[in-house]
Structure 1
Amino acid sequence: MTPLRPQRLLRAALVTVVAAVSGACTTMSSADDRPGEPEPTSTCVAPGAVSGVGAPSSAGPAWQQTFVDEFHRCALGDDWGTYSGSPGGNPVGEWDGSMVSVVDGTLRLGAERTSSGWVTGGVSNYPVTQTYGRWEVRMRADRSADLSYHLLLWPKNEQWPPEIDFAESVSPERTEMSAFVHWKQDGENRKANADTDGRFAQWHTVGVEWLPGLIRYLLDGKVWAEVRSSTMVPSTPMWLGMQVEAGACERREDWGMSPCANDEPRPQSAAVEIDWVAVYRPSADFAAHAGEYFLPTPGAIQISD
């Protein structure tokens, strides 16, 4: 690991970040110019913010919003794609587009136990691919010992690693959440993580800021963990993925955690709900407003190799 701590190094990197993202974005849409949305109906759209907090239009002068989706329609739309097949490295359950729906102003990633096993939902925001930026998601998760959820940035070129997981949980009561970073070093796949507590069966805003040599994990607008390393932090274009997976009990055993118990919540169906998603890239004058990024955030967990 090569820590990126000196202020002059990050300042120099920020000079290039705007140029990097300006050409990295593909077919982005905004809330004002997204084509082809169906007219709202009472069965698909809930008035106001479902979660009590509306989608932001700004994250301050350091950021320029490139995409926002409040799911005020009846269909998923062209900015998203659904997952299918078995999750890599996880043979328990399958993804299927039937488990993804947009109703009552929310994106719903469902999960259902069937006679042949679990079927779950996942989506990619592949059209909004960029190098560096800020992603925020307003979400909540039903309690379940069998299911995990994962909100992450995935490389456009499909060459893994890297991967940035900014909200991940196998907690049956949704009282814990993890952040991970995956990278390759000296020919080996590496990972590091941090954990935080909360009541994630209720609505929260989770997010991540990604810059050269820096990842900052966000919870309700505050930085709770960060990575400062030119080795661990990726520099390849990435897109947002959000998914529910079966096999949380098996993962807990693999990780040396306590096995699933009979008194834990084991519903036959559950879901992760998304009220809105907002994406930003560094603004043209990002460097002029980036003083807070130069030093470690007070109170935040410093994730290292």
Structure 2
Amino acid sequence: MTRHAAPKESRRGPVAAGAAALVVLALASIVLYLGNRGPGVTESELVARGGEVTQTPETTAASPTSSQAPPTTTTTTTTAAPSRAPASTRPAVAPRAAPAADRTQAAVARGWGAPVLGDEFDGTAVSRDRWALYDGAGHNGLGVRSPGQASVANGVLRLTGDDQGTTAGMSFWPGQQYGRWEVRMRVPYGHPDYHPVLALWPISNDWPGDGEVDFAEMAAGDAGAQFNYLAGASNTWTKGYTPVDITQWHNYAVEWTPQGMRGFIDGREVFVDDDVSHLPPGPMYQTIQLDWIPAASDRPTETVMDVDWVRIYAL
């Protein structure tokens, strides 16, 4: 072992010399320690940690290799609301589309794949390239269907019926024979003489001969939704009813195959008709209608029907 001689001025006797030696050794250790602690530690860190210093070299960490597993990290991600419009312009209940992996969509729950047609209503007006807006007499010649009663804002289509029976309807082109249709809709408020309808209507416009498929129909304020299926050849109806809060967003869907007709609400099958003699004989197109059918009153109150998106899938 190498001994270090004490400085000359420190030789004041055995006790003093020993104490001085200890002081010198301590100072030397500190100097060595400070000289080797690395650029990542500051003097303030030394004080803050009470002398327990962790060296942090300023190097860039390499990507983990196959033999070096990355550290486990828990990350909380907050999904922002769609940037369709400033929050101040949104309605009281902000429209929100179902997440892409949400199994309350029949398309997700049943593996329909990607839509081949549809509308997310991300613009500022109804697309005339996709939709034909009704302009004329209302249902059974009652009231008026006016293009001005259909609007798009905040990523949502809104059909509005007023207190005079003036309302809206529209159809999606082109049509097709067989396929799957799914629509996200709510009816937040309204009068029972207004009937929101999501339907497939024959391109031939031959009714009742070529059938009708109302895969969601209700009166505003109803406690559920109907599936109304008209077999045109026999002019007979097959119907189903499902309790649901129509004021909230729900996903309504229909699957039309050569084997039959099926209906879904929020991914759950609610209607089946496998009688192939009931099938429509030709192509049909999607319609969205807010029909005025006066029964309770000649003067309805304002009624709205909101649609978040329409998606059409091939078989």
Report the AA paired with residue 153 of structure 1: L
Report the Cα offset of residue 62 of structure 1.
Answer: 4.7
Moved more, 56-65 or 137-146: 56-65
Question: Given the alignment, which residue of 113, 123, 133 partners 2:170?
Answer: 123
Shift of the 157–218 alpha-carbon distance from structure 1 to 2, 3 Å rule, reads same
Shift of the 61–269 alpha-carbon distance from structure 1 to 2, 3 Å rule, reads closer
The answer to whether the aligner puts 1:177 opposite 2:228 as a matched pair is no
The answer to whether the aligner puts 1:157 opposite 2:176 as a matched pair is no
Matched with 2:216 is 167
Report the Cα offset of residue 221 of structure 1.
Answer: 0.9
8 Å Cα contact 1:132-1:235 kept in structure 2: no
Matched with 2:133 is 82
Matched with 1:268 is 301
Q: How does 1:289-304 map to 2 (within 5 A)?
A: none
- Secondary structure of the residue aligned to 1:98 is helix
8 Å Cα contact 2:85-2:154 kept in structure 1: no
Aligned length: 222
**Quick one: distance in 2 between partners of 1:189 and 1:52?**
37
Identity, % of aligned pairs? 30
Report the Cα offset of residue 189 of structure 1.
Answer: 2.1
CA RMSD of aligned residues (A): 2.9
Q: How does 1:224-239 map to 2 (within 5 A)?
A: 224-239=270-285
**Quick one: distance in 2 between partners of 1:154 and 1:55?**
28
TM-score by length of 1: 0.65
Report the AA paired with residue 156 of structure 1: I
Matched with 1:31 is none
- Which protein is richer in strand relative to its size? 1
Report the Cα offset of residue 215 of structure 1.
Answer: 0.7
Report the Cα offset of residue 181 of structure 1.
Answer: 1.0
Question: Given the alignment, which residue of 135, 139, 162 partners 1:112?
Answer: 162
5+ long unaligned stretches in structure 1:
1-39, 250-259, 283-305
Shift of the 87–192 alpha-carbon distance from structure 1 to 2, 3 Å rule, reads farther
8 Å Cα contact 2:192-2:222 kept in structure 1: no
The answer to whether the aligner puts 1:216 opposite 2:265 as a matched pair is no
Report the AA paired with residue 179 of structure 1: F
Report the Cα offset of residue 150 of structure 1.
Answer: 0.9
Q: How does 1:236-275 map to 2 (within 5 A)?
A: 236-249=282-295, 260=296, 268-275=301-308
**Quick one: distance in 1 between partners of 2:158 and 2:111?**
32
Matched with 2:11 is none
Report the Cα offset of residue 145 of structure 1.
Answer: 1.5
8 Å Cα contact 1:212-1:235 kept in structure 2: no
**Quick one: distance in 2 between partners of 1:210 and 1:64?**
17
5+ long unaligned stretches in structure 2:
1-83
- Which protein is richer in helix relative to its size? 2
Q: Which has the larger radius of gyration?
A: 2
Question: Given the alignment, which residue of 70, 73, 77 partners 2:123?
Answer: 73
